[in-house]
Structure 1
């Protein structure tokens, strides 16, 4: 096993509502083609838009891969930019999923904190990716929308103590192609990994003194 290899898991969502093709999964498949370089083991998963599946699948991904980072990608019909979500929220899940189900408690983790922030500085990722001039606009948000996207993000943040990220993409062709979204994801995740390793270097230095 190559210890220098970092493991990254990236998920996209399956179809829901009028979105028979979910741009998030298309973007993740494009990312898979591009890869994240030789030093990163990339695993991708398509997640069905179902609360109960998310509740079992997300913990199993963390357990199986012990990833450095998990990035969930979702579709927002309202988005016109690629949007980096700063936090996940625990309460307010009233929207029904593909199985016409929503949690009785309307929350992700009973007794969990109301809101969990990612350890990754999304403003910094946004600035760095924007500076690359990929031709894809990137923005930052504090509200992932209280549906499956937000639910998945909170669940992942809770399990990983913040070592997760969530990226919303607009529908295909509004305005970006799947390929452009894949390129943007590649750049975003590279910057996230860079920031994580800088943070770890700092922590390691403190331990040595």
Structure 2
């Protein structure tokens, strides 16, 4: 019989700073609202801002994973093209040509030289999307397989590579297009709670199979 989990779950949450036309990044607004709502007493939440800089991402992501060793890392970014809250299934290694806030772009145009072209999250994003969509939130949640080949995608791939897939990425639309800060915060709360539940149950099945 499998024992119940008693220790707190650990979640590390990242949002992105201002860039381009996004003087106020909606991902930061959504994270602020999530912090007000919380994730319950059983979850330790660590929140960090990620600068829109390739080299900082390459240095910071491994350092934060080493420091906290969380059950899950969730990255939250804004997409000017998004009209829904979007769960990204995977991160991509190559095709990074856009300049960051420091006017820098990797010469190799990739995240990890020699790394796989694409890495999928171990989180079943389809299941999370379906479950959140049944909660009656006034926010539409969708799935994507292309995080955009800029700092969002670059960060996601770097995190997936570092964590062996134990990462997730949520894209939010710009504030007011169409959702309020409160709507984004509630959606983010529901998404992360469902991600933790899906992750816990999938790992519980694995542990049970190992015990028999």
Query: The TM-score by the shorter chain falls in which range?
Result: over 0.9
SS of the residue corresponding to residue 79 of structure 1 reads: coil
Q: Is 1:23–2:26 an aligned residue pair?
A: yes
> TM-score under structure 1 normalisation?
0.98
What is the number of residues matched between the two proteins?
208
Q: Deviations over 1:18-69 (max 9, x none)?
A: 1100000111111111111000000111111100111111111111111000
Residue 141 of structure 1 deviates from its aligned partner by: 0.3
| TM-score, normalised by the number of residues in structure 2 | 0.96
For structure 1, which runs of at least 5 residues remain unmatched after alignment? none
List 4+ stretches of structure 1 deviating above 2 A.
none
Residue 54 of structure 2 is matched in structure 1 by: 51
Once residues 36 and 113 of structure 2 are traced to their aligned partners in structure 1, the CA distance between those partners, rounded to angstroms, is: 38
Which residue of 183, 188, 191 maps to 1:188? 191
**For residue 149 of structure 2, what is the aligned residue in structure 1?**
146
In the TM superposition, residue 172 of structure 1 has moved relative to its aligned partner by 0.1
- The whole-number CA distance in structure 1 between the counterparts of 2:173 and 2:96 is 22
Q: 1:104 maps to which residue?
A: 107
Matches within 5 A, 1:41-190: 41-190=44-193
RMSD: 1.0
